[in-house]
Amino acid sequence: MISVKSRREIDLMRRAGDILARCFQIVEPLVKEGVPTREIERAADVFIRKNDGLPSFRGQPGLVEGAPDFPAAACISVNEEVIHGIPGARKLKSGDIVSIDMGVLYKGYHSDMARTFRVGSVSELAERLIRVTEESFWQAAAAAVPGNRVSDISRVVQRCVEAAGFSVVRDFVGHGIGTELHEEPQIPNFVERRERRGGRLQKGMTLAVEPMVNAGACDVDVMSNKWTIVTRDGSLSAHYENTLLVCDGAPELLSVAV
């Protein structure tokens, strides 16, 4: 069942989103050549906790049998890593693209957000991939209005991405969000032909819409750490996500600094 949030719940999610958006403002300057990914994650963890939040991702159970709980406050995925990159000693290099995905839990309510950043000068392909991924989100967000279906959001992402010659990841999807990080409905970034996926959207629903886009084929694999997802063909991948509130008109962005 898709939950409709009360005014109080929405206010708490706005606060979670404010902490999260400001956390991104802290970590973005750290995404530069020579910086280990664990340094970025540590800065995020400290900021979230200092602002009365908790990192939503730390301790999340694994999706693969035998996987440990997620060990960090942020997923940091580089180049061909799609999602769930575990921060560590790896130092960023000029030309890398870096997807950072984070969540904040504030007084029982979550916000979720992802961005893909450039390290120095990146290739023309990487630049276009990042731009198309973000554009697909904004086009899809416009479809998050009462009366539309989840499939209307999915269809917009797919059309935007495939028109640019890229592919959407099919094994992982966006989602509802609230007291749980992952709630109903699932929000794929694609639809099967003539498929109508999901129920009608209603005012007060909160959604995490997150295009995950590969420069090559859509196929992905799980690394030996049982968390990090990579493109099977080694192509670059980008990620863009915000938490949205379905309103009477255009949706409200909840993962934003206020």
**pLDDT higher than threshold 70 for residue 198:** no
Global pTM? 0.96
- pLDDT tens profile 201-219: 999 999 999 999 999 999 9
**Domains with residue ranges and CATH for the chain:** 7-253 (3.90.230.10)
Q: Which of 168, 167, 186, 163 is nearest to 176 (CA)?
A: 186
Distance of CA 253 to the CA centre of its chain: 14
Give the separation between CA 92 and CA 87, rounded to whole angstroms: 11
Give the separation between CA 170 and CA 228, rounded to whole angstroms: 15
DSSP 3-state of 3: coil
Q: Taking residues 6-19, report their average pLDDT.
A: 98
Q: What is the mean pLDDT of the chain?
A: 96
Give the whole-number percent of the chain exceeding pLDDT 70.
98
- pLDDT tens profile 47-82: 999 999 999 999 999 988 999 999 999 999 999 999
Distances in Å between the alpha carbon of 144 and those of 14, 95, 149, 168, 201?
18, 34, 8, 19, 7
**pLDDT higher than threshold 60 for residue 197:** no
